Amino acid sequence: MWDLAILGLTAGGSALWGWYRTNRRRVESWQETAAACGLTAVESYSVWNLQLALKAQAGVAGAWFSFSKSGTRVGVRVPGPPGFKELRIAREPSKPGAREIESGDEAFDRALFVEGPVRLACALLDAETRRLLLRVNEESDPVLAGMHLWADTTDEWLPRILSLLLDLGRRFARPLDVAQTLAGNALRDPVAGVRLRNLLLLIRAFPGEPATLEALRTACSDASPEIRLRAAMELGAEGRGVLVELAESTEDDDCSAQAIRLVGGELAFERTAAVLTHALRRRRIQTAQACLEALGHSGASEAVGALAKVMAREEGELAAAAAAALGATGSPAAEPPLILALQREQPDLRIAAANALARVGSAAAVPPLKEAAETFAHDADLFRAVRQAVAEIHSRLPGASPGQLSLAGAEAGQLSLAQAEAGQLSLATDAAGQLSLPSKEPGELSLSEDEDGLKPAQESA
């Protein structure tokens, strides 16, 4: 029995000794790698708990090595700026629902998850730092947490990974002025999304600071129209010229539309109309819609004709936008084209025309509104728009009181004020002029008496 025990101990000891000798050679390779990177190795290892590790130091830079499933885990300790301890970078979020920080670099944001202090993270993640992190990520599994940056890698890639980690450690350990660094990133980063992200953080965190104002003025010449737009918006009157240039630019549909909405009143009718014509030809829908809105509020006498032409030629959202703009003009001249639009085979346009007539329509618009509600009886949204339009028109009639709107019996379509009490709807004896619309089929809507002059009748049985 003792022989077996001794044999077992001998075999176990032999296996342990073999394991130690094999991994001792790996520790020696770690030492060589550390020395090649300018580190002085200080060995620390244990036999009995089957762990081997190595620590190395060079000035403020420190590195450590240990075994991992993939081969070697190598890390560096980073004495970063205040708040750096809360920063975490990894391939996956540290916990479900963790709030990710977007750097503005889509390739980087897809590859790595960042959480922690937002301003500090964006200040540190400049172009070179992102490049180094992506290099490490291509060849290992990097993690930054608790002032340590480490990666699991193979022995083959160990020298390259250690060199990259040391470079990153030195970058993270640099003295940091957050405002100045954000401003520098906003002006010099090669990725437009990063420049914009840093500029917005600078605006929110350091408004009115010299670094912020300088960055905003320089950003007005940025290659990205979105960055120029945001910078000009923040500069107020100083940035109006840039906004006008963007309004007439063809670079970006959304940016031009926003610029037009901001300075539309400052552009002459001719310039706005020219931008609209070009936008319609190029099918830049957002810019065209913004131009239509600007023309509707311009007060120019020529605006009604221009808007009516667009409404007649276009379909969908542009036709509806032109109808809404006609209503915004407040001009009686807008009524005839809007009445014509009530019979177009475009539900959105009909509703927009009815809403516009609520603003500019006269008594003459009521019969066409009634006819549209009758023709498209299944359109509940149109019915509501017609009802509101008639009420609005009624409220503008001299001497009218709520509910007095009626259709006269002399001629079909004429409008008069009923002599009955307020709230009653007087109906002509001639059916051709009645405002009440019968329901011919189940589910159809009709117009009948109500305190406001119109209401939906009960559905047919």
Query: What is the rounded CA–CA span in Å between residue 330 and residue 316?
Result: 23
Strands 405-407, 71-77: parallel, antiparallel or unpaired by DSSP?
A: unpaired
Query: What is the rounded CA–CA span in Å between residue 448 and residue 441?
Result: 16
Query: What is the rounded CA–CA span in Å between residue 435 and residue 2?
Result: 115
Query: What is the rounded CA–CA span in Å between residue 55 and residue 45?
Result: 10
State residue 424 phi and psi, 5-degree precision.
-95, 150
Provide the β-strand partners of residue 42.
55
**Tokens standing for 283?**
């099918």
CB atoms near residue 458 (< 10 Å):
9
Query: What is the rounded CA–CA span in Å between residue 417 and residue 431?
Result: 18
Query: What is the rounded CA–CA span in Å between residue 83 and residue 102?
Result: 18
Give the pLDDT of residue 156: 83
**Tokens standing for 381?**
């949204």
- Whether this prediction's pTM lies above 0.85 is answered by no
- Taking CA atoms, 379 is separated from 198, 200, 445, in Å, by 49, 45, 8
Provide the β-strand partners of residue 64.
55, 75
Local confidence pLDDT in tens for the 461 residues of the chain? 444 444 444 544 554 455 455 567 777 777 778 778 877 766 555 544 444 566 766 555 577 777 777 678 888 888 888 999 999 999 877 666 667 899 999 999 999 999 999 999 999 999 999 999 999 999 888 999 988 898 988 888 888 998 999 899 989 988 999 999 999 999 999 999 999 999 999 999 999 899 999 999 999 999 999 999 999 999 999 999 999 999 999 889 999 999 999 997 788 899 999 999 999 999 999 999 999 999 999 888 899 999 999 999 999 999 999 999 999 999 999 999 999 999 998 999 999 999 999 999 999 999 999 999 999 989 999 999 999 999 999 988 876 554 444 434 334 444 444 443 443 434 343 444 444 434 444 434 344 434 444 444 443 33
CA-wise closest residue to 215 among 199, 228, 226: 199
Per the listing, tokens 């922690």 go with: 116
Per the listing, tokens 């120019």 go with: 300
CA-wise closest residue to 251 among 277, 223, 274: 223
**Tokens standing for 263?**
């300075």
Provide the β-strand partners of residue 75.
64, 150
CA-wise closest residue to 235 among 256, 253, 218: 218
Sheet arrangement for strand 148-153? 40-46, 51-58, 61-68, 71-77, 148-153, 141-145, 88-90, 113-115
Query: What is the rounded CA–CA span in Å between residue 418 and residue 405?
Result: 6
Burial class, 149, CB count within 10 angstroms (exposed 0-12 / middle 13-18 / buried 19+): buried
Cβ atoms of 445 and 460 within 8 Å: the answer is no
**Nearby residues of 10 by Cβ (< 8 Å), 6 or more positions away:** none
Query: What is the rounded CA–CA span in Å between residue 192 and residue 183?
Result: 14
**Tokens standing for 115?**
């959480």
Cβ atoms of 326 and 311 within 8 Å: the answer is yes
Query: What is the rounded CA–CA span in Å between residue 292 and residue 273?
Result: 9
Query: What is the rounded CA–CA span in Å between residue 24 and residue 113?
Result: 36
Residue type, position 428, single letter: A
Query: What is the rounded CA–CA span in Å between residue 402 and residue 386?
Result: 16
Residue type, position 215, single letter: A
**Tokens standing for 131?**
């490049």
Provide the β-strand partners of residue 114.
89
Instruction: List the chain domain ranges.
Output: 2-174, 328-398+447-461
**Nearby residues of 178 by Cβ (< 8 Å), 6 or more positions away:** 119, 120, 123, 205
Query: What is the rounded CA–CA span in Å between residue 146 and residue 132?
Result: 19
Residue 71: left if φ>0, alpha if ψ -120 to 50, beta else—which one? left
Query: What is the rounded CA–CA span in Å between residue 46 and residue 100?
Result: 39
**Tokens standing for 164?**
């990259």
